[in-house]
């Protein structure tokens, strides 16, 4: 028997694989963790072979993070319950649309003392018109403490070991240093804050703003317009938190999860890229996601829809014109050319 902490990564997409590289490296290095890190892989067949077999033989996720070696102690497991068995730390990193099915499968099957860390950027929709934070969904369904990690962390650049920062939201003073040890490397620097909900909300909302930035790029409106859209997006993010999550701190927006993630996503993210292509090709978001992302998933348009659903029911759309316009454009209810008219009389200008 061992008292070493066991880690499971629930997810193996673009970001899931990049974080597996870091976590695998740290688990092997640190005495307090078991070397073996399991990674739940949603199985698929690539050129006639199982993706899990390819990963375990070549240590490369050839579909979602090609060109990067994963540490050999990261083991791909196609069975979710098997992967999560006896894990002390469960790192959730799947596109947000799959989290409820994942939790349903894990209900009653995990260590009751396990700690969750959610890297998932998005919301869940609540019946009757509200939204729920993904960490709250996991907490409720699995009855475990859930911390969050969000930041300016484009997966490819993290996997390239280019310097960046990230934010961990964790209220538990005993758990915070353990998570930092598990995540921090010399190129991936961690700041821990206890304003957990704000960290997570920043991570979800910035994907809506990234779509707006992509529309601006597609319309070739230039850098000043893009900067204005990013700023108005930031102000709507702050207003959203002030309105619906009172007690949050403005300082959290200055962490990597806030302004830094907003900037990187609005320049280098998938949501931006697809939104630009949306304007230039006239294709739908779904068509472009299928054509351009090779199985990776967009979060922005779905988050815009979830947020809009709530704002509409609360009769608050006009207080969040950028969020509202992004949703309407994504579903074809507003032409992208109308984006600027929609935000010309923004509440910030009154
Ligand atoms: N990619 C990035 O640069 C970053 C992503 N994130 C966030 O991390 C989360 C996960 O994103 P990625 O790892 O990039 O995923 P991804 O966008 O690469 O998504 C593909 C993953 O979804 C899996 N999948 C497909 N259908 C599934 C199903 N029915 N059930 C379960 N899994 C299924 C695929 O097997 C694959 O592992 C998202 O919330 C994203 O916003 C956060 C920071 C950076
Ligand atoms: O969250 C991200 C970077 O921090 C990735 O954003 P995209 O999903 O738009 O690529």
Residue-wise pLDDT for 62-99, tens only, equals 999 999 999 999 999 999 999 999 999 999 999 999 99
Q: Is the C-beta atom of 270 inside 6 A of ligand 2? A: yes
Cα 48 to averaged position of ligand 2 atoms, centre (Å) = 30
The yes-or-no answer on residue 280 being catalytic is no
Active-site residue identified among 63, 206, 226, 328: 206
pLDDT at residue 60, rounded to an integer: 98
Residue 271 and residue 214 in contact, taking contact as beta carbons nearer than 8 Å: yes
Cα 330 to averaged position of ligand 2 atoms, centre (Å) = 18
Cα 154 to averaged position of ligand 2 atoms, centre (Å) = 6
Residue 246 has pLDDT above 60, yes or no: yes
Q: What is the mean pLDDT of the chain?
A: 97
Cα 2 to averaged position of ligand 1 atoms, centre (Å) = 32
Distance linking the first and last C-alpha atoms of the chain: 65
Residue set of the binding site for NAD(+): 11-16, 98, 155, 270, 297, 299
Residue 164 and residue 158 in contact, taking contact as beta carbons nearer than 8 Å: yes
Is 3 or 34 the better-scoring residue by pLDDT?
A: 34
Q: Is the C-beta atom of 19 inside 6 A of ligand 2? A: no
Instruction: Give the whole-number percent of the chain exceeding pLDDT 70.
Output: 99
Q: Is the C-beta atom of 152 inside 6 A of ligand 2? A: yes
Nearest CA owner, ligand 1 atom 29: 98
At residue 129 the predicted structure's pLDDT band, cuts being 50, 70 and 90, is confident
The pTM for the full model equals 0.98
For 269-287, what is the mean pLDDT? Answer: 98
ipTM over 0.85: yes
Q: Is the C-beta atom of 95 inside 6 A of ligand 1? A: yes
For 226-241, what is the mean pLDDT? Answer: 98
For 270-278, what is the mean pLDDT? Answer: 98
From the CA of 155, which ligand is nearest? 1
Residue 43 has pLDDT above 90, yes or no: yes
For 26-32, what is the mean pLDDT? Answer: 98
**CB under 8 Å to 58, separation ≥6 — which residues?**
none
For 97-112, what is the mean pLDDT? Answer: 97
For 187-193, what is the mean pLDDT? Answer: 98
What element of type H or E holds 26? helix 14-29
From the CA of 156, which ligand is nearest? 1
From the CA of 51, which ligand is nearest? 1
Q: Return the closest-CA partner of residue 149 out of 125, 169, 129.
A: 169
pLDDT at residue 2, rounded to an integer: 64
- CA separation for the pair 115, 89 (Å, rounded): 5
For 264-292, what is the mean pLDDT? Answer: 98
Q: Is the C-beta atom of 153 inside 6 A of ligand 2? A: yes
For 181-193, what is the mean pLDDT? Answer: 98
């Amino acid at each position: 028997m061992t008292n070493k902490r066991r880690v499971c990564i629930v997810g193996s997409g673009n970001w899931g694989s990049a974080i597996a590289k870091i976590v695998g490296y740290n688990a092997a290095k640190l005495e307090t963790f078991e070397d073996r890190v399991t990674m739940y892989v949603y199985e698929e067949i690539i050129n006639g072979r199982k993706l899990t077999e390819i990963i375990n033989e070549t240590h490369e996720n050839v579909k979602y993070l090609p060109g990067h070696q994963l540490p050999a102690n990261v083991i791909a497991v196609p069975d979710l319950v098997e992967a999560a068995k006896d894990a002390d730390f469960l790192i959730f990193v799947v596109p947000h649309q799959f989290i409820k099915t994942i939790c349903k499968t894990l209900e009653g099957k995990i260590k009751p003392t396990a700690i969750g860390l959610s890297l998932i950027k998005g919301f869940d929709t609540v019946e009757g018109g509200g939204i729920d934070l993904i960490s709250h969904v996991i907490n409720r369904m699995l009855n475990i403490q859930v911390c969050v990690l969000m930041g300016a962390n484009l997966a490819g650049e993290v996997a390239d070991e280019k310097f960046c920062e990230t934010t961990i939201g964790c209220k538990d003073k005993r758990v915070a240093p353990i998570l930092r040890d598990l995540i921090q490397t010399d190129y991936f620097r961690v700041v821990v804050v206890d304003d957990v909900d704000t960290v997570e909300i920043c991570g979800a909302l910035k994907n809506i703003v990234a779509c707006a930035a992509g529309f601006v790029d597609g319309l070739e409106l230039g850098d000043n317009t893009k900067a204005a859209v990013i700023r108005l997006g930031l102000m709507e993010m702050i207003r959203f938190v002030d309105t619906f999550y009172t007690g949050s701190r403005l300082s959290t927006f200055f962490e990597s999860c806030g302004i830094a993630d907003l900037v990187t996503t609005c320049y280098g993210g998938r949501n931006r890229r697809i939104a630009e292509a949306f304007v230039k090709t006239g294709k739908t978001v779904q068509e472009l996601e299928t054509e351009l992302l090779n199985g990776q998933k967009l979060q922005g348009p779905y988050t815009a829809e979830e947020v809009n659903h709530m704002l509409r029911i609360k009769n608050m759309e006009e207080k969040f014109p950028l969020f509202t316009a992004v949703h309407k454009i994504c579903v074809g209810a507003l032409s992208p050319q109308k984006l600027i008219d929609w935000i010309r009389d923004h509440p910030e200008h009154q």
